[in-house]
């Protein structure tokens, strides 16, 4: 049963989302998304995944502590020494775990769509990635401003803020949660953060979380750009593992709009064999 709370003439966001899910379920054919099962299970049931997440945030703390060392200031340009520090993080699969949403898509046979995605966000049930809360709250306690730059849509902002706070993150507000308004590229939002703060590091699960240099590149070009930035990985750029989805998969599809069967063909053709 759906209970609806509303002002006269205005349906609640929750009700609209639920009704939208029902309409979507009736209009879309069931898709075989079983290929995602191993990736979701790895995130949910693998202790190795947790170890990798802790490793990433432990490394991030080492890098931050190094930057906080007063000796580091002498190595910076004079104009940078008095600027306040900031850390830029992605949200999904970087600080919040959305694997239950991915698991539900496999079970229901519904590929990614905004109706189901918004419904999951409204639940505010995403748990924190292991190590994320401890590290970011440590950074905040040291006077570092954390910017959450995500390609969640702006309409999801309040639910996103609520979820971050519920998961235990400190200093979360509309001012430092920067979601997508018109464009997917994060360059402008990163530049806005850099306008007032010195960005110590960026943390994400997708190369697009770090620089526009990686955006909409082929598989080969992404490799080349990653190799060119080899000195930044583990220093300025900290990466979390995410085999469930991402631009890495879009690159295999050559950024085309494909049917699920066409995607399966592309994945099979991309395999490197003996």
- CA-CA distance, 87 to 169, in Å (whole number)? 14
CATH superfamily of 31-270: HAD superfamily/HAD-like (3.40.50.1000)
- For the segment 146-173, the average pLDDT, to the nearest whole number, is 98
Q: Which of 204, 206, 176 is nearest to 189 (CA)?
A: 176
Over residues 173-192, the pLDDT tens digits come to 999 999 999 999 999 999 99
C-alpha torsion 220→225→230→234, nearest 10:
-100
pLDDT of residue 28: 67
pLDDT of residue 203: 99
For residues 236 and 184, is the Cβ–Cβ distance under 8 A?
A: no
- Confidence (pTM): 0.90
For residues 150 and 112, is the Cβ–Cβ distance under 8 A?
A: no
pLDDT of residue 11: 39
pLDDT of residue 60: 98
pLDDT of residue 2: 29
Secondary-structure breakdown of the chain: helix, strand, coil percentages, each rounded to the nearest 5: 55, 15, 35
CA distances from 123 to 116, 160, 195, 254 (A): 11, 10, 34, 33
Q: Which of 26-30, 36-40, 55-59, 252-256 has the lowest mean pLDDT?
A: 26-30
For residues 178 and 148, is the Cβ–Cβ distance under 8 A?
A: yes
- For the segment 107-131, the average pLDDT, to the nearest whole number, is 98
């Amino acid at each position: 049963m759906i209970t609806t709370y509303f002002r006269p003439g205005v349906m609640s966001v929750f009700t609209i989302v639920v009704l939208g899910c029902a309409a979507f379920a009736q209009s879309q054919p069931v898709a075989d998304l079983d290929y995602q099962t191993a990736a979701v299970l790895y995130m949910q049931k693998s202790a190795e995944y947790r170890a990798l997440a802790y490793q990433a945030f432990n490394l991030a703390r080492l890098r931050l502590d190094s930057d906080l060392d007063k000796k580091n200031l002498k190595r910076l340009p004079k104009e940078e020494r008095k600027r306040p520090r900031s850390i830029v993080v992605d949200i999904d699969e970087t600080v919040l775990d959305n694997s239950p949403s991915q698991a539900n898509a496999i079970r229901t046979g519904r590929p990614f769509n905004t109706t189901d995605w918004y419904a999951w966000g409204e639940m505010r049930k995403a748990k924190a990635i292991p190590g994320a809360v401890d590290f970011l709250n440590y950074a905040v306690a040291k006077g570092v401003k954390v910017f959450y730059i995500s390609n969640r849509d702006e309409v999801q902002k309040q639910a996103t803020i609520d979820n971050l706070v519920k998961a235990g993150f400190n200093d979360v507000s509309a001012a430092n949660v920067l979601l997508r308004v018109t464009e997917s590229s994060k360059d402008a939002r990163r530049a806005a953060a850099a306008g007032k703060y010195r960005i110590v590091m960026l943390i994400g699960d997708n190369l697009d979380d770090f620089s526009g240099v990686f955006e909409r590149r082929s598989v080969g070009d992404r490799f080349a750009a990653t190799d060119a930035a080899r000195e930044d990985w583990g220093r300025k750029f900290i990466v979390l593992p995410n085999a469930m989805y991402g631009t890495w998969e879009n690159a295999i599809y050559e950024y085309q709009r494909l049917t699920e069967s066409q995607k399966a063909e592309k994945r099979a053709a991309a395999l490197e064999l003996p």
